[in-house]
Structure 1
């Protein structure tokens, strides 16, 4: 099978981007230069620069997209609403929904200086004594997001405020039907039925990130004595919506399993054994947020199912010729593991 390379942005595309930026009140000083930061498994992220300033441009993949996913313009609207709040996000610049401009919709934010800790090797280069502070900072940032008044922030119309678990189960089971490989469809279907039979009432409503873990943040890490790491910006808001914050915590915890390494194609920072396990992460959130997590086994099981669908989606794009690189060849191996984890979580409740 011929694999499709991650597309680059040519001179005509960059000139069009510059025009959109100027129309949004952000004129560039010269010709834009562009380099890929990350791409292939989900949305594509590029660094832009004009020799004086830097920005980040996000686009969806040009092939293999599934319905309702990869909405970078919606991402920017969420970031714009959160920018005045205590939640650290990049300054929004411009968005363009017209696919005729460069072939896909795109969104632009100001570049944030910070460190993306993606690999286990990079994480374990941090001083061991900073791990506790880092955990507190990360979990505290998620708790801060959940404290935002979504109506006051202008996000009251982002989604329905109630019925989050049912909406998520419907959405992700629909995605599962699109991307499941032969032989696993029935196993996923059984988990969906078990989850549907245990749908909980929703106790709280908040903006939920949906994909929160260390590598979806930009960190500023002080090298001085007593310097604690700080989250400079939370990134990758494509799954954000209004929902149950307890489910958001479960998603963060579910990513801790070692099978996540198969999805990203390397030993990831968030699966490091130096980090707290699921129970301790959940307890830290409860302490920092001042709440008790409810219906935990259900939310954890649904989180495992969702990651399994994400893995299946990556494998689906590989099989359609729309992606290549780390994770694409191995993500499919993680699908059964996450389905089994979901079933185990339900049985423990």
Structure 2
């Protein structure tokens, strides 16, 4: 790690704020590094030479309304502490832009591996890949089983009309990030809006659940679920559909900076097996799967278009963004193919 200037993180100002708000926490000057692989909020690991912490803040530019909400991430992780869903311990939330130029929070650094590349997942044995896949599904089912009221999240979202609002929200996010024409994306949004299913039950929704958003310990147990920026109350099956798209929706794509190293082509179970495991684990009936999968394709396409927008405007930090834009149209095409004509 380095004490050199980091984009979006002034270590001296961070140190002064932590000394004021959490006196005695730090033993010495801070050093830090930008964690590579993040494609939305910026994540840093900082150290005082004795301990490590993680700092999260929004991207450097083009922050969309309702996106990159530091308070939302901080609140849900704080609420889930002590449940069956493993989360890092939260330390401090700062909503004052004058400290770092944007809201941020500080949380525990959880040691372990984030499996975000084929080079990392190929180190797992075949049995470890299967067991890790089942864990991933089981943690998701545990999250969806939590009564939001019981953890102080009863007002965390509005489950009524959630799916309709989701289609509208991501359509608005798309409009705010448009820099080019994308064949079929308006048709996909329209068809999703016309066929919104009934939500069987409401629960806590992660919003971006996948293997590379969890930390796995040396014992191959999931130690922490990360990236809660899109968490809310709503239809849990949106998490399941999104996970399935991440799992197999990028199969065979070269130069893919998203969801790499998972799925049956890498020796993991199929997306259908994950879905079956979830149904068995949760006891919930599963209907309208095609809609949830198509919505997953649409949502990821819009997220990637936003990343592409920031990349072409020089507002991203990290590697691999030059390939993101090429993934959007194929995702839209798969979403349309999944949402079969009636």
Q: Could you tell me the TM-score, scaled by structure 1's length? A: 0.90
Unpaired stretches in structure 1, ≥5 consecutive residues:
223-228
Where does residue 250 of structure 1 map in the other structure?
241
The equivalences for 1:1-349 within 5 A come to 7=7, 9-19=9-19, 21-22=21-22, 27-38=25-36, 41-184=39-182, 187-222=184-219, 229-256=220-247, 257-258=249-250, 265=257, 268-271=260-263, 273=265, 274-323=267-316, 325-347=318-340
Q: How many angstroms does 1:251 deviate by?
A: 0.7
Q: Any idea what the Cα deviations from partners look like across 1:76-125, whole Å, max 9, x if unmatched?
A: 11100001211100011000001011111111111111111110111011
Unpaired stretches in structure 2, ≥5 consecutive residues:
none
User: Would the aligned equivalents of 1:262 and 1:327 in 2 still touch at CA under 8 Å?
Assistant: no
Q: Any idea what the Cα deviations from partners look like across 1:319-343, whole Å, max 9, x if unmatched?
A: 2221254331111111111111111
Corresponding residue SS for 1:237: coil
Evaluate the alpha carbon distance shift between residue 128 and residue 189 of structure 1 in structure 2; reply closer, same or farther with a 3 A threshold. Answer: same
Corresponding residue SS for 1:242: strand
User: Would the aligned equivalents of 2:156 and 2:232 in 1 still touch at CA under 8 Å?
Assistant: yes
Evaluate the alpha carbon distance shift between residue 268 and residue 166 of structure 1 in structure 2; reply closer, same or farther with a 3 A threshold. Answer: same
Give, in whole Å, the separation in 2 of the partners of 1:245 and 1:65. 26
User: Would the aligned equivalents of 2:138 and 2:278 in 1 still touch at CA under 8 Å?
Assistant: yes
Between 295-304 and 319-328, the greater mean CA deviation after superposition = 319-328
Evaluate the alpha carbon distance shift between residue 329 and residue 294 of structure 1 in structure 2; reply closer, same or farther with a 3 A threshold. Answer: same
* Paired residues, number: 336
**Backbone CA RMSD of aligned residues:** 2.2
Q: Any idea what the Cα deviations from partners look like across 1:46-73, whole Å, max 9, x if unmatched?
A: 1122222211110111212111111122
User: Would the aligned equivalents of 2:45 and 2:53 in 1 still touch at CA under 8 Å?
Assistant: yes
Give, in whole Å, the separation in 1 of the partners of 2:341 and 2:181. 26
